[in-house]
Amino acid sequence: MSIFIDIHTHKEKSSKDIVYVSDPRTQYIPTDCLFCLGLHPWYIDQLSINTILEKLLKIKDNKSFFALGEIGLDRSIATSIDIQMKIFLQQINFAKENSINTIVVHIVKSYDLFLNVLKNTNYTGIFLIHGFNANADILKKLLTYRCVFSIGHNIITNTKNKELINLIPKEKLFFETDDQYEYTIEDIYHKGSKLLDLDLESMKTAIESNFTKTFNKTFFNI
């Protein structure tokens, strides 16, 4: 029987039925799940990029390290977009130089800028766009690059996301809970399977296959 995969969450413990990929948003390293590390645009004023990169150098070969992230661009916050871009590119370059093959990105009101980065970067890894909720035109452009897409509880609460899930190629689709606790990953899988006209076990098998093929990783008990 397949398992549930929560590809982006701020929970910090996996179970026999659920694999969490945790982003603790700090330098703290979880011990009970796969994890990411990076400087989120919300915390540029609070954390040092040099400290984060030094920490990444130390943990990048840890078997539980999944990706650099989440990092990104967010025009809804006060931090200058120029400063955000500088930090974003610095981390992408770090991933390239250190053979980190997955980057988790947070993009808010900034897909034009992100598409320009994709066009000009020579990073050859995967960009996992978490909380994806852009329109079909942006999706079409992103699909020309090495991007995969994670959708969260908005498929339950937002009509636009209910339509969007059917436009994402099934082999590029993942689910997440992010930082909310009202809906579980099981709730999101159940809704996703209904919208895609799949039974739950088929949905779980498909996402697990996506995970293994996309990230070249297999599951293990930590």
Asked if residue 177 is part of any domain, the answer here is: yes
Asked if residue 206 is part of any domain, the answer here is: yes
Quick one: average pLDDT of 104-111? 98
Helix (H) or strand (E) segment spanning residue 199: none
Report the range of poorest mean pLDDT among 42-46, 136-140, 160-164, 192-196: 160-164
Say how far apart CA 119 and CA 193 lie, in whole Å.
33
The CATH number of whichever domain residue 149 belongs to comes to: 3.20.20.140
Asked if residue 222 is part of any domain, the answer here is: no
Quick one: average pLDDT of 216-220? 65
pLDDT of residue 222: 40
Bridge partners of residue 103, in order along the sequence: 68, 127
* Domain ranges, residue 43: 4-215
pLDDT digits over 74-96, tens only? 999 999 999 999 999 999 999 99
User: For residue 4, is pLDDT > 70?
Assistant: yes
Asked if residue 182 is part of any domain, the answer here is: yes
Asked if residue 221 is part of any domain, the answer here is: no
Across the chain, what does the average pLDDT equal?
Answer: 93
How would DSSP label each residue in 162-190? HHHTTTS-GGGEEE--BT--SS-HHHHHH
Asked if residue 87 is part of any domain, the answer here is: yes
pLDDT digits over 120-166, tens only? 999 999 999 999 999 999 999 999 999 999 999 999 998 877 889 99
User: For residue 12, is pLDDT > 80?
Assistant: no
Domain count, the chain: 1
Asked if residue 181 is part of any domain, the answer here is: yes
Asked if residue 136 is part of any domain, the answer here is: yes
